[in-house]
Chains A and B, each alone.
Chain A
Amino acid sequence: MTLATKLVNDSPQPIVASIRGCTKRYPGVLALENADFEVAAGEVRALLGKNGAGKSTLIRMLTGAEMPDSGTVTIGGEALAQTGSSRAAEAFAKGVRVVYQELSLVPGMSLAENLFLGRWPRKGGVIQYEAMEAEAAEAMGRLGLDLPPDRLVMGLSPAERQLLEIARVLVGRPRLVILDEPTSSLAAAEAEKVMTAVTRIASEGIAVIYVSHRMNEIRRISHYATIMRDGRIIDTVDVKGADTREIVRLMLGSESEQVAPLQTAAREKTVLEVNELALAPKLASISFRLREGEVLGIAGLLGSGRTELLQSIMGVRALDSGTISVDANPIGAPNYKQMVSRGFGYTPESRKEEGIVPLLGVDENTLLTDFSAVSNLGVLSKSRMSEATRRIVDRLHVKTAETDTPIGTLSGGNQQKVVIGRWVHADSRVLLLDEPTRGVDVEAKAQIYAIIRQLAAEGRSIIFVSSEIEELPLVCDRVVVLRDGRLQEEFTSPNIDQDAVMAACINDH
């Protein structure tokens, strides 16, 4: 195994992009610290690091979206010189392209129209469909995407959409293509197509930066992987020689502090039992039990099916097969309202889109789950509303000026506490929390951990989904790892080893 401390460039290919001594500071965070990085033509460079390690900042340096506080960014032999918004245009002109996770296609338009979105070839204001479709067919052909260019995006599979996104950036002859977790929303068979396409792009001499945590993918398409942690580039390793545990150690660092053993509150009684649950193509034969007072962590990479699992238990999504039992009584196909009345509560992953009603106050956002508890004969009582809200706000340490302050003005962490708090108000006994600490500051995270432990101590059962491995030992009595649509490994407190969990998440077998 090669642990090169110098930059890796033993190929004869020219360097397409390099970053020298770049530092970037945001208020309160050192996002990038004295980073050196380079990528050569025709290379597929994997970029690894957990959330907040600085990957996005590094990418933004290359695209010119942000300027380093110090250091230089060189694309195609020339340093980026512009500042502000023209810097991004400069990087674009030099051939830097990014494909982000969120797909940005217009479903009702054709493949060709999407490929040239906003830049349709025109003559006298009229779109030249023939020329456009010919060029589109060519760009898609380079990726092995053989579809009629006049077809609508609507009917495409997720992998085809992802390939179309990639084809879109190939139109202007790019030098460097950055792919941000391109396979995270894809099932294994579909991811295959994307990887084939990536290999083809590289063989044309385009440099590719491939952000992903799926080791099997990385091993197939990359030679080298650059690993980031805490805003620093830790190392660039030869992927073929490095083993997963070593890469995990580099990603997580060795300073994983000893965690005080949790006081488990788990009792014998099983409140939820899931048997052979399947939801094609994401989940297959998932079985587990959740005990009263237990915090069960579900670890897994982005797109591993964590959200789908919670949603199919709650009845938000219809499951294909499998049985779910509540208090040892099998229930039929779950229905959301019924699950809520059985004492289940669910907090969604995307707080803004699915969690909060931004214009309404903290009070109404909290009490939403049960208005009857604060009503007299169907009339909402102002005093009981503020009293009930105050109870939740105090218990969950929500920082808000007043109980009726619009929730949209609160910080993400405080919004999240309210979203959890509404199920405490409804007195739910089983809470399914999907990424409750995403986009939340450090202090609020610690408070959310404490809240979860406290709720468990009261006898509530909690499923805690997280992609931040290091928080699992702090919160969970037990952790199961979801990979390739199945539950793969199980860890029980106090033996929840971060490195082992991470390795189970990213590993291939």
Chain B
Amino acid sequence: MSTDKAATATPPARARKGSFSFSRHMNEVSLFVAIIILYVVFTSTAVGFLSFNNQINILRDAATIGIAAWAATLIIIAGEIDVSVGPMVAFISVMLAYFLQWGVPTPLAFVMAIAFGAVLGSIAGILRAYFDVPSFVATLGLWSALRGTALFITDALPVSIGRNDIVDALDQPVLGIPPAAIIMLVLFAAFAFISRKTAFGRSVFAIGGNAHASFLSGISVSRIRVALFAIAGAMAAISGILLVSRLGSGNATAATGLEFDVIAAVVVGGTSLSGGRGSMLGTLLGVLVITLIGNGLVLLGINPFFQQVVRGLIIVVAVLANIQAIKRSMSRNKG
């Protein structure tokens, strides 16, 4: 029979406000609970966890992951992946240090660094969009080539920038808050806005949800894919600039493994690796979870090797619990 049985089912009538919106944001709610639990556990076990200085540290650490994670969220929602973040940050930090050594005016050097990041990112985007190279492979190539180039040209030594007031200012707290954290939050607001309020952002969701239907609806699927990777490159460049301001040098060995923290934060934040679903708020909470875990374990004085084990476990358990919570709320919604 050609009669589509699902076709005759009436859409479930739902209360939009109140209970429904709560279950719609089940993901964010359960992450929020996880963060509270982490706070309670670390406050009671780790000395100095709740101190102002440590909270500032957490924010600063969060910025490193967060800025890259905003762009990564859009990429993953579009059904793609970017594993080149760490080497991109390191490479751009090296390039920026050289620009400054060559006497390029600082603001211009920043702009050049960001443009550089965007161009490098768009290489992966073009490979994906126009040559059908899977984004994992395209960015894996970048991952290896960028790290290698940075190590090769610097011989793995830090590239000092000397004295630079503007760069130094980027590491001076404003009202006690590090500029990196402020930049992270401003960018968060921008990305949250873009993802929800612009045609570009909604097209990203549409492409991740059904690329074919999006194409047939006239969305420029290829162009948006390139733009996404260019944006990711630009965000990594901003992280690279902040890294230079923090270390006072460009560093080819920096940000090792950052890409996995970023992906973990996005996934913990509830964004689906298969695309089409996710939220910036979720990623913000995911970034906090990842950062809190790292910070707390250090304060607890746990063996650094063993820290990685604990981190791995917590990430998997967090995602598992989240998936279960969402499943439960969805089946409750149906019934």
Contact = CB atoms under 8 A, between A and B. Distances in A.
Nearest to A410: B11
Contacts of B276: 357, 359
Contacts of B13: 401
Interface stretch (B153-161, B199-207, B240-248): B199-207
Contact of A353 (B5, B8, B10, B212): B212
A250 interface: no
Contacts of A371: 199, 202-203
Contacts of A26: 1, 3, 5
A449 interface: no
Interface residues of A, number: 52
Contacts of B12: 409
B274 to A, nearest CB: 11
A372 B9 CA distance: 34
Interface stretch (B33-41, B85-93, B214-222, B251-259): B214-222
Interface stretch (A104-112, A118-126, A435-443, A491-499): A435-443
Contacts of A31: 1
B197 interface: yes
A27 interface: yes
Given A357-B205, A360-B206, A371-B199, A439 B11 contact: no
Given A379-B197, A401-B14, A413-B7, A57 B1 contact: yes
B326 to A, nearest CB: 13
A305 to B, nearest CB: 19
A346 interface: yes
B18 to A, nearest CB: 14
A242 interface: no
A411 interface: yes
Interface stretch (A48-56, A70-78, A263-271): A48-56
B199 A316 contact: no
Interface string A325-349: 0000000000011001000001010
Contacts of A360: 202, 205-206, 209
B213 interface: yes
A464 to B, nearest CB: 17
B93 to A, nearest CB: 33
A380 interface: yes
A375 B5 CA distance: 37
A400 interface: yes
Contact of B3 (A29, A353, A405, A414): A29
Given A372-B199, A439-B7, A354 B16 contact: no
Interface string B180-224: 000000000000000001110011011001101111111110000
B132 interface: no
A84 interface: no
A364 interface: yes
A438 B203 contact: no
B216 A346 contact: yes
Interface in A394-438: 399-402, 405, 409-414, 422, 426, 438
A439 B4 contact: yes
A354 B3 contact: no
Contact of B217 (A378, A422, A438): A422
B215 A355 contact: no
A158 interface: no
A144 interface: no
A169 to B, nearest CB: 23
Given A439-B4, A439-B7, A368 B206 contact: yes
Contacts of B205: 357, 359-360, 364
Given A31-B1, A355-B213, A356-B213, A380 B202 contact: yes
Contacts of A368: 203, 206, 214, 217-219
A426 B218 contact: yes
A369 interface: yes
B218 A409 contact: no
A369 B215 CA distance: 10
Contacts of A405: 11, 14
A12 interface: no
B238 to A, nearest CB: 22
Nearest to A385: B202
B216 A411 contact: no
B151 to A, nearest CB: 37
A175 B197 CA distance: 61
A358 B209 contact: yes
A28 interface: yes
B277 interface: yes
A399 B11 CA distance: 8
Given A57-B1, A357-B210, A412 B6 contact: yes
A401 B4 contact: no
A357 B217 CA distance: 11
A364 B206 contact: yes
A359 B199 contact: no
Chain B CB within 10 Å, residue with most, of A51, A52, A364, A414? A364
Given A354-B213, A355-B213, A357-B210, A440 B7 contact: yes
Interface in B231-287: 276-277
A379 B7 CA distance: 35
A257 to B, nearest CB: 21
B1 A29 contact: yes
Contacts of B14: 401, 405
B49 to A, nearest CB: 38
B220 A337 contact: yes
B212 A52 contact: no
Most buried by A among B13, B14, B213, B215: B213
B2 interface: yes
B16 to A, nearest CB: 6
A378 B201 CA distance: 11
A412 B206 contact: no
Contacts of B198: 375, 378-380
Contacts of A354: 210, 212-213, 216
A357 B203 CA distance: 11
A441 B3 contact: yes
Given A52-B1, A57-B1, 9 more contacts: A348-B213, A357-B276, A369-B218, A371-B203, A375-B199, A400-B11, A401-B14, A401-B16, A410-B11
The 4 closest A-B pairs by CB, nearest first: A412-B7, A371-B199, A439-B4, A357-B209
25 contacts: A28-B8, A52-B1, A56-B1, A354-B213, A355-B213, A355-B216, A356-B213, A358-B210, A364-B202, A368-B214, A368-B219, A369-B217, A378-B198, A380-B202, A405-B14, A409-B11, A411-B6, A412-B4, A413-B7, A422-B217, A426-B218, A439-B7, A440-B7, A441-B3, A441-B7
Interface of B: 1-14, 16, 197-199, 202-203, 205-206, 209-210, 212-220, 276-277
Interface of A: 26-29, 31, 51-52, 54, 56-57, 316, 336-337, 340, 346, 348, 353-360, 364, 368-372, 375, 378-380, 399-402, 405, 409-414, 422, 426, 438-441, 444
